[in-house]
Amino acid sequence: MELRPLILIVIAVLVVLLGLFVWRAKGSDAPHKTNYRALFVVGISWIPIGLATENNVFWILGLFFMLTGWTNRDKWDS
């Protein structure tokens, strides 16, 4: 197994965990609301880009963004 994809996946996971840590540290008094529809659209866009370029980070993050947006579709502004 090649080491490079594993390193990229570990870095992506660490970035996501750091983002979650910063988000939790801010608390619930955030000045803006999360746009879950935009997260869904970004995820849908990144999945094929990552697959076409064989970039695991893009399609994994795209899948994460898409699932986050989809599970919170009741909070989408219509």
Q: What percent of the chain has pLDDT over 90?
A: 14
Report pLDDT digits (tens) over 27-44. Answer: 656 567 788 899 899 999
Q: What are phi and psi of 35, to 5 degrees?
A: -90, 95
Number of domains in the chain: 1
Q: What are phi and psi of 11, to 5 degrees?
A: -65, -45
- The overall pTM is greater than 0.85: no
Q: Which residues contact 7 (CB under 8 A, 6 or more apart)?
A: none
Residue 73 is classified by DSSP as G
Tell me what the mean pLDDT of segment 58-63 comes to: 88
Judged against a pLDDT cut of 70, whether residue 51 lies above it is answered with yes
* Domain coverage including residue 58: 3-75
